[in-house]
């Protein structure tokens, strides 16, 4: 199929990969390392779609995706003497800032990539180039489960290629956003690495749902008024287990015969510290994705001061690494094949976009930049999407600041101390002539 001169090859329906039927085999050594327990048995698989049914996982992935997608993304040109000029007239600027392909906005495209990178560990987009100039004219996302990257050795020339729907594409044809990994070729899914934590969270939620489904519970001791044989006791225990045991049977109503009594013990959710388990799992999931707990609704230990500090750390230690991955991959793939653009243009995210919702913090930052001379009035107005004003390009500097080594001789030479005069000090007694 040809879209705007871009050839897209689709595999036969029976061969098409899906999230439930990924291209990777369970025989892959890397996959086996992830799935294998210490005793050699296999952990049950957890699909990313299933993991997303957990509110903590969904909240973490959504925060990552929306935070990166909402940041301003601009294209710049390196000017003379180290200056940087926004290249908003270049077609690539509109491609990245507004519309990377024929059916997505820049926000939607970046959000989709972040969702897949956070869940599968990798996100891919096929690069459409102009055949004459080599310049990028489209970025089309490919489902992560349809792509398998690998290294090939072509007569000593080691290069990275991608297998996509039966077709091999070169590294220059794929934009690859990768989570941390151990082989340098692709990223590892956080869901696969931490499937035990995710499974525990899913089981706790399922148990709670079943427990409250019928608004009652069974947890206690059966008491019979008479004496029953061992065989009858065994049959009673097995029938009871068959009907009422297991999380799927939580909440069923028991029917007792022959004068038997059910002596309820304490509430099982309290005994098992169910609520504490749920709280711990929320924190555990947040730890996996490096999201401050207060951002996904866990305010148990939140204070005004530590929320502010955690928000700063979120930008520095969570968002900034993802932004760096985005910028380096875009700069490597967007301009490398055009002699006109290579080495002159670069992509940069504006992290100040994360402060746009905080008016006081934003204005304090502007005031500091204006006071110390690295922001002009028009720089500030541009950040606020306001029109420039006459005389607004002037940069200010404090009058009491001078370059080091240029202080006047009068300022540097010590002066003799003088006696204080007036009522505030002791006057020197007069001496006779």
Residue 255 located in a structural domain: yes
Q: What is the separation of C-alpha 405 from the centre of its chain, rounded to a whole number of angstroms? A: 47
Question: pLDDT value at position 304?
Answer: 67
Residue 363 located in a structural domain: yes
Residue 162 located in a structural domain: no
Answer yes or no: is pLDDT of 74 > 60: yes
Contact 178, 117 (CB under 8 A): yes
Q: Taking residues 50-78, report their average pLDDT.
A: 91
Domain range enclosing 338: 2-143+175-187+314-349
**Tens of pLDDT, residues 419-432:** 555 444 445 555 55
Answer yes or no: is pLDDT of 88 > 80: yes
Lowest-confidence region among 57-66, 198-207, 332-341 = 198-207
Q: Are residues 9 and 120 in the same domain?
A: yes
pLDDT category of residue 136 using cuts at 50, 70 and 90: very high
* Long-range pairs, 15-19, Cβ under 8 A, ≥24: 15/166, 16/146, 16/165, 17/143, 17/145, 17/146, 17/165, 18/145, 19/47, 19/48, 19/49, 19/143, 19/145
How far is Cα 343 from Cα 78, in angstroms, rounded to an integer?
8
pLDDT category of residue 433 using cuts at 50, 70 and 90: very low
Contact 17, 143 (CB under 8 A): yes
Question: pLDDT value at position 17?
Answer: 52
Residue 278 located in a structural domain: no
Cα angle vertex 199, ends 142, 116, to 5°?
15
Q: Are residues 13 and 124 in the same domain?
A: yes
Residue 104 located in a structural domain: yes
**Tens of pLDDT, residues 168-202:** 999 999 999 999 988 889 999 998 888 888 887 77
Lowest-confidence region among 13-27, 54-68, 357-371 = 13-27
Question: pLDDT value at position 104?
Answer: 96
- Spatial CA neighbour of 197 closest among 271, 297, 277, 116: 277
Q: Are residues 255 and 327 in the same domain?
A: no
pLDDT category of residue 239 using cuts at 50, 70 and 90: confident
Contact 220, 265 (CB under 8 A): yes
Q: Are residues 112 and 235 in the same domain?
A: no
Quote the pTM value: 0.67
Question: pLDDT value at position 29?
Answer: 47
DSSP annotation of 111 = H
Number of structural domains (the chain) is: 3
Residue where a domain terminates, one of 272, 304, 336: 272
Cα angle vertex 72, ends 373, 121, to 5°?
125
Answer yes or no: is pLDDT of 355 > 90: no
63 torsion bin: left (phi>0), alpha (psi -120 to 50), beta (else): alpha
Residue 164 located in a structural domain: no
Q: Are residues 23 and 122 in the same domain?
A: yes
Q: Are residues 34 and 124 in the same domain?
A: yes
Maximum Cα–Cα distance for the chain, whole Å? 131
Q: Are residues 381 and 326 in the same domain?
A: no
Question: pLDDT value at position 280?
Answer: 76
Residue 152 located in a structural domain: no
Q: Are residues 203 and 130 in the same domain?
A: no
Start-to-end CA distance of the chain, whole Å, equals: 114
Q: Are residues 7 and 112 in the same domain?
A: yes
Q: Are residues 128 and 242 in the same domain?
A: no
Lowest-confidence region among 10-24, 272-286, 390-404 = 10-24
Q: Are residues 264 and 225 in the same domain?
A: yes
Question: pLDDT value at position 406?
Answer: 67
Q: Taking residues 305-312, report their average pLDDT.
A: 78
Contact 6, 136 (CB under 8 A): no
CA dihedral angle for residue 378, residue 382, residue 383, residue 386, rounded to 10 degrees: 100
How far is Cα 68 from Cα 287, in angstroms, rounded to an integer?
19
Q: Taking residues 308-335, report their average pLDDT.
A: 90
Phi, psi (degrees; rounded to nearest 5) at 322: -65, -40
Residue 12 located in a structural domain: yes
How far is Cα 267 from Cα 346, in angstroms, rounded to an integer?
61
Which residues have CB under 8 Å from 291's CB, separation 6+?
Answer: 59, 60, 63, 64, 314, 318
How far is Cα 318 from Cα 321, in angstroms, rounded to an integer?
6
Q: Are residues 6 and 130 in the same domain?
A: yes
Q: Token digits for 371? A: 């006071």
Answer yes or no: is pLDDT of 322 > 90: yes
């Amino acid at each position: 199929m040809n879209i705007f001169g871009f050839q897209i090859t689709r595999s036969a329906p029976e061969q098409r990969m899906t999230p439930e039927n990924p291209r990777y085999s369970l025989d892959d050594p890397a996959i086996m390392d992830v799935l294998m327990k210490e005793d050699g048995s296999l952990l049950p698989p957890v699909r990313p779609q299933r993991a997303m049914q957990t509110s903590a996982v969904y909240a973490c992935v959504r925060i990552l995706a929306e935070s990166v997608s909402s940041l301003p993304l601009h294209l710049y040109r390196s000017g003379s003497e180290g200056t940087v000029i926004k290249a908003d007239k270049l077609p690539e600027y509109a491609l990245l800032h507004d519309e990377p392909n024929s059916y997505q906005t820049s926000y939607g495209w970046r959000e989709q990539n972040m969702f897949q990178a956070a869940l599968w560990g990798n996100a891919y987009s096929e690069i459409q180039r102009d055949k004459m100039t080599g310049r990028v004219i489209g970025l089309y996302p490919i489902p992560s489960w349809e792509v398998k990257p690998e290294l090939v050795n072509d007569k000593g020339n080691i290069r990275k290629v991608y297998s996509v729907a039966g077709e091999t594409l070169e590294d220059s044809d794929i934009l690859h956003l990768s989570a941390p990994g151990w082989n340098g070729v692709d990223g590892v899914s956080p869901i696969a690495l931490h499937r035990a934590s995710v499974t525990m969270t899913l089981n706790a939620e399922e148990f709670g749902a079943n427990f409250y489904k019928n608004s009652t519970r069974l947890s206690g001791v059966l008491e019979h008024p008479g004496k029953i044989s061992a065989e009858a006791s065994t049959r009673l225990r097995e029938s009871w287990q068959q009907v009422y045991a297991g999380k799927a049977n939580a909440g069923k109503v028991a029917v007792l015969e022959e004068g038997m009594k059910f002596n309820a013990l304490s509430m099982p959710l309290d005994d098992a510290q169910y609520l504490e388990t749920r709280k711990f799992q929320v924190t555990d999931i947040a730890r996996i994705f490096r999201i401050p707990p207060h951002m996904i609704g866990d305010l148990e230990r939140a204070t005004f001061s530590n929320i502010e500090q955690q928000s700063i750390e979120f930008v520095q230690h969570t968002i900034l690494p993802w932004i760096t991955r985005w910028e380096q991959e875009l700069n490597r793939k967007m301009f490398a094949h055009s002699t006109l653009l290579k080495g002159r243009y670069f992509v940069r995210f504006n992290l100040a976009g994360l402060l746009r919702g905080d008016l006081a913090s934003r204005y304090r930052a502007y005031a500091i930049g204006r006071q110390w001379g690295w922001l002009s009035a028009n720089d500030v107005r541009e950040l606020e999407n306001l029109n420039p004003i006459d005389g607004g390009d002037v940069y200010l500097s404090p009058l009491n600041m001078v370059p080091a080594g240029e202080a006047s001789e009068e300022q540097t030479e010590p002066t003799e101390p003088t006696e204080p005069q007036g009522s505030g000090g002791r006057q020197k007694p007069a001496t006779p002539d």
